[in-house]
Chain A
Amino acid sequence: MIFNLVESLDIKGHLTISKVYNSGKEEVVFDDHNIIVSGMGVALAHLFALSGSDSILDYQIDRFQVGVSGSTLREVSSTNNLAGPASSIAEYAFESNVLTTSGYQVLNNAIVNVPRFYGLIPQQNVTRIDANTVRYTIILDENSCNAISRDGQNRPLNEIGLFVKNIKNNSIAAPILVAYRYFNDIQKTSDFSLVFRWSINF
């Protein structure tokens, strides 16, 4: 007997991105499905095989990356990282309310010991919508991600990914990408916050 878990459960997600101005006005700038990538299966395989961390907290989606080099070509299940993620705590911004952390990353089921930077999703921003659906709310406030430059130029955001924390129980957390989405360029400024509402149906 062969059962495919991710396909059979039809795990899928939906992402809404809004600009929220200081006046309180909210403008939805993106509303579409996302891509569940192969890392989701890798994470669940470690969980159900009892072959990874012995704490389920390490299998939770608790962090994200935003990036500036996204493309539709990355919207395939084999994608395992962002093309151009924010590459320092400074790029997420010191004075913002976004909690950041550094760590390694799991690529092709192996830990790559190169420091990478992640934004953290606080517990209160993880909401059970119904029995099978979880919504992750990510807020890049007005001070966040306003100065991500490449080649001397300030770059707009255009990709985001969700990560599971540390399936291999590495001493330095090695997250794995489980969901990805490219979106049209958003030049982040201090005039607005960006709110990502990302629902995953398991």
Chain B
Amino acid sequence: MFVDKAGELIADVMTMNRSLATIPSASAILDTSNYTFQAISYGKDAEGFNYHAHIPLGSFSANTIKVISYGPNSFSGYQSSATASALQFQYSLMPQSPTPMDTRLESKSTNPAYSLAVDMGQYINTAMHPVFSGVYPIAGAFPPPSGVYFQIFNQANSLIYSGSLQSVYNFYNMMDHLGFLKFYQAPLSGVFGHKNIVDTFINPYVAANTSVLFALSGGVFRTTGSNFPNDVDLIWLLTAGDAGMLNLFGGIYHIGLWCFDIKEMLKQGYYPPYSFNTLNTTRKYRLFAKKTFNKDLLYYSSNSAFKSMFVDNQFSNANGIVFTWKIRFN
């Protein structure tokens, strides 16, 4: 769903003062890149930020995520049907229904009751937070660049599985600490050309692993294929390690598409160019569109599937989930 802020952005473009072009110090405000897609984010139901791996279990460990598996064969939060039924009176599992007035993925607070995390309405990337990075094992939701251990317990507190997860997003500094995954900025050509990107993402094993990782480390790609200007495709990868940690924190129920809130940035004294950094010292975003799912996109119903999907095939061979968001213009 495109939200009302999307139309507001286009109205901004249509009414931007033409005289700025004659002022060298201000002309950068008119650069098209300030008004197009700039970030993707992931979210889940607000209530879920007090469940899943957000619940502290036993003694806190600085580099280990601990989570209870409520289903006999599921690590995917509480998503097995029997468990969902048992918990329905205390935890509905359902994300907020989207409306055109939305300005973020969840309007209710997504700040776990205990933590020092930031209430962004979405998953944040605490591992890259300049001050609170130490609480990422309970604040989530992406592994630090060096990776993370995890332990999964059954309801009797017995360890049933453990392993480690790596993050491509953070290894390549692709996501800021607020959970915004950057877009690749330069025009597409060479290894980043439309065909290469599509080939790489649709069939990653066509290319050598290093090329795949190099390509995907650019961020989210906006590609213009043969159906342009009717369609523009946004393509990105959620690699196994990052997906695995999201799975431990309750999975994906929302995906957000964001542009800059350039008026807010100007009001706060930030002028373009708005370069990306993981500390996000200048960028302010406004929601352009969101997609909400009523079932966790990362749901897997068996332990072995989790292991094969998120652990064995992680990082080194760039296994993961390819997202293609097609924006149709005609």
Contact = CB atoms under 8 A, between A and B. Distances in A.
Given A41-B230, A49-B228, A51-B228, A57 B21 contact: yes
B33 interface: yes
B36 A61 contact: no
A124 B253 CA distance: 45
Contacts of B30: 55-57
B125 to A, nearest CB: 23
B229 A42 contact: yes
B324 A1 contact: yes
Interface string B290-330: 01000000000000000000000000000000011111111
Interface string B1-25: 1101011101101111111010000
Contacts of A134: 11, 14-15
Contact of B328 (A4, A53, A59): A4
B75 to A, nearest CB: 25
A202 interface: yes
B35 to A, nearest CB: 6
Contacts of A131: 4, 7-8, 11
A174 to B, nearest CB: 14
B224 interface: yes
Contacts of A133: 11
Nearest to A132: B7
Interface string A1-33: 111111111010000000000000000000000
B158 interface: no
Contacts of B283: none
B37 interface: yes
A123 B32 CA distance: 19
A45 interface: yes
Nearest to B36: A48
Interface in A42-70: 42, 44-57, 59-62
Interface residues of A, number: 44
B14 A61 contact: yes
Contact of B229 (A2, A41, A62, A128): A41
A102 interface: no
A195 interface: no
B296 to A, nearest CB: 16
Nearest to B14: A134
Given A1-B291, A3-B325, A51 B224 contact: yes
B8 A48 contact: no
A155 to B, nearest CB: 31
A51 B188 CA distance: 10
A189 interface: no
B32 A202 contact: no
A56 B8 contact: no
Contacts of B11: 128, 131-134, 202
A130 B2 CA distance: 18
A165 to B, nearest CB: 10
Contacts of B328: 2-5, 7
Contacts of B231: 45
Q: Top 9 nearest A-B pairs by Cβ distance?
A: A41-B329, A45-B229, A41-B330, A202-B7, A45-B329, A132-B7, A202-B10, A4-B328, A49-B232
